[in-house]
Amino acid sequence: MCGFGGYFGSIRDAEALLTHMVAAIAHRGPDEQGKFVAPDAGLGHARLSVIGIGDGQQPMSDEAGNLTIAFNGEIFNYIELREGLIAKGRHFRTSSDTEVILQLYEEMGEDCLSLLNGDFALAIWDNRQRRMVLARDRMGVRPLFYTSNDGVLYFASEIKALLKVPGVSAEIDPIALDQIFTLWAPIAPRTAFRNIHELEPASVMIATQGQVTVRRYWHLDYPHRDEPSKITNEDRAAEELQALLTDAVRLRMRADVPVGSYLSGGLDSSLVSALAAGMTPRRLETFSVTFDSAEHDESAFQTEMASALGTRHHAIECGARDIASVFPDVIRFAERPIIRTAPAPLYKLSALVRQAGLKVVLTGEGADEVFAGYDVFKEARVRRFCGRQPTSRIRPQLFRRLYPYLPGLQQQSVEYLAAFFGTSNAALDDPLFSHRPRFKTTAAAKIFFSGDLRATLKGYDAAEELTSRLPEAFSLWHPLHQAQYLETRFLLPGYILSSQGDRMAMAHGIEGRFPFLDHRVVEFAARLPPEMKLKGLMEKHILRKVARHHLPAAIGKRTKQPYRAPEARSFVGAEELDYVRDCLGEASITAGGLFNAKAVAKLHEKCRMETATGFRDNAAFVGILSTQLWQKNFAGQAVGAARAA
């Protein structure tokens, strides 16, 4: 796991630029740094040594000097790929997975990407063809950003490195901000920074002199809803899933350093930890976050699971004030405004892993998207059920069953529940049917936008743009698969794997590994009939069948409890931190130009009085504060919204 930056084109002072770019992302690779400069191309690398510790230095060139690579991530099946290349007569100078990529590319060009089972972003300078090749893993685990300036292509693992390029400035993209305040994340390739782009997951970019092309080398696909499923035997399907998931964990245990595991106390991380515990020759180390608020805390389940597995368990408590204290750093590493505080505890958790002396952890992320674990999937099913009888007073009561952890919702009337979840007027054929309530509730926070920002965004609809990005086959999929695609293709890489995943872990030089996002597991799950994933209102049905052989009954049968953290109340009160008052003060809000200062002041006071309990107010508070911190960190207070995107 590492970070890299580079360029393609003619520049001056290449060595100095690469030095500054690498220094900006040194937290991603604290072990070593390296640079490569050639006519019209350069690569810089900051290394976190995990595989091939003694001989995996980067940038790495082939023996002939025709190919040079800078690589961030891991190729988990590198041993099998290496053996196949040796059988063809190839020889290796190193024990690293990096050289495997180089030799595969020499054999197959960019088509080699289809053979890689891993989480990666890479840049290959192909001197023979005078081209730069950039690529990113299928699910979007590892980030890769790019921009152009004066005819030169620049790229890096984080935007901080691109801001070291002369002439590249930091300015908020109003369209991206609107997307964040609607969809939770920008729609790639757009980022929070105007004119700085993100290479989309499963994509390869090929840059030659005067031409840049981007294509996808892998697609997430689902079967036609009217076609009989080829998977009909549930027990055999569970056996196949068990084998796939076991192998995914096995591959992700490969490292020349110890591998630990996050343990939330839920089904997903518990299953991963259980499989990992049986594969390590040493006692597995597990890591958890606990909260001082009962509605967020899962420590009892974490302790039970750690005891059952006999792990060496580490836990860090995260209170509301802890979230406030690290939040500026969270935004600096996330490099975008966010509307949830959830990344903050994970930032602290990765610091705990580093303090324990580990560099690598397994996580359970991805299972909810791949096996239909989120409430949004169950909610959509209930909404469709209610939509067929919109006057029913019984059906809307099912929403209370979905959200037992939201006491405010339990007290609402049937009429309120029906109206809130849009059961009476929702179009059942709406491609965004499953997510409309979430988008509507989140977008309500945009009432705090300034007049100038509203004028800039006039006529723009983030949900409409998201709809335009859906594949042609989308309408042919089962409704559950449509909802899964929206989560997996957009929110997963756009928010979960970035703001909560890579960026928080790599802030402390920690590599997260995601067995549920092994592309073989993802492809298998996509082929499963919907009822094997969401059976009635029981989420992740087939995964539970696998888990019952590995987990205590209390863990395996737990209903999904979404990972949440204290929101607005983390920042207000008698001990309110100076930066909160400064960022939300009238002078700062007015200078930023993005929000209505009077409306923000009322929201701030409402939160101080602890009357802001709804999602909208919490999302608005966190979103506004994080945007102000973004401006302070990256663009200063001169950033406005006067120009259209």
Is the same domain home to 44 and 96? yes
CA distance 558 to 374: 13
Question: Residue 373's closest CA among 539, 232, 504?
Answer: 539
Q: What is the model's pLDDT at position 346? A: 97
Same domain, 302 and 289: yes
SS (H, E, C) 556-614: HCCCCCCCCCCCHHHCCCCCCCHHHHHHHCHHHHHHHCCECHHHHHHHHHHHHCCCCCC
Q: Evaluate whether residue 482 is within a structural domain.
A: no
Q: pLDDT tens, 322-358? A: 999 999 999 999 999 999 999 999 999 999 999 999 9
Sign of CA dihedral 622, 625, 630, 635: positive
Q: Give the whole-angstrom CA distance, residue 125 versus residue 61.
A: 9
Residues 197 and 268 placed together within one structural domain of the fold? no
Work out the pLDDT band at 566, boundaries 50, 70, 90: confident
CA 641/CA 129 separation, integer angstroms: 42
Residue 561: inside a domain, yes or no?
no
Q: Is residue 222 part of a domain?
A: no
Segment 576-611, tens digit of pLDDT? 999 999 999 999 999 999 999 999 999 999 999 876
Domain interval for residue 535 = 234-370+488-556
Residue 150 and residue 19 in one domain: yes
| Helix (H), strand (E) at residue 55 | none
Query: What is the total count of domains within the chain?
Result: 4
Residue 17 has pLDDT above 60, yes or no: yes
Tokens of 538: 């029981």
Question: Which of 436, 470, 504 is the endpoint of a domain?
Answer: 470
- pLDDT tens-place string over residues 121-157: 999 999 999 999 999 999 999 999 999 999 999 999 9
DSSP string, 410-422: HTS-HHHHHHHTT
Check whether residue 548 and residue 434 sit in a common domain.
Answer: no
Same domain, yes or no: 384 and 492: no
Q: Is the pLDDT of residue 642 over 60?
A: no
pLDDT score recorded for residue 561: 74
- Looking up tokens 């180089």 gives 102
The closest alpha carbon to 201, from 147, 138, 156, belongs to 138
User: Within a domain: residue 13?
Assistant: yes
Mean pLDDT score, 394-410:
65
Residue 539: CATH number of its domain: 3.40.50.620
Residue 347 belongs to a domain:
yes
Is 264 contained in some domain? yes
Q: What pLDDT digit, counting tens, does each position of 521-558 carry?
A: 999 999 999 999 999 989 999 999 999 999 998 888 78
Mean pLDDT, range 67-94, rounded to an integer = 97
For the chain, what is the radius of gyration of the CA atoms? 24
One domain for residues 493 and 456: no
Pair 205, 212: CB distance under 8 Å: yes
Q: What does DSSP say about strands 312-318 and 285-291: parallel, antiparallel, or unpaired?
A: parallel
Is a pLDDT exceeding 70 seen at residue 416? no
Tell which of 216, 247, 262 closes a domain. 216
Is 65 found in the same domain as 138? Answer: yes
Whether residue 205 sits in one domain with residue 320: no
Whether residue 233 has pLDDT greater than 50: yes
Same domain flag for 444 and 301: no
Domain co-membership, 251 together with 319: yes
Token pair in block for residue 389 = 């009888």
Check if the beta carbon of residue 518 is closer than 8 Å to that of residue 366. Answer: no
Instruction: Identify the sign of the CA torsion 98, 104, 109, 113.
Output: negative
Q: Is a pLDDT exceeding 60 seen at residue 306?
A: yes
- Domain assignment present for residue 138? The answer is yes
Which residue, of 216, 249, 274, is where some domain finishes? 216
Is residue 117 in a domain? yes
DSSP annotation of 317 reads E
Q: Is there a single domain that holds both residue 32 and residue 166?
A: yes
pLDDT, averaged across the chain: 92
Contact by Cβ (8 Å): 70, 122 = yes
Q: Which pTM does this prediction carry?
A: 0.94
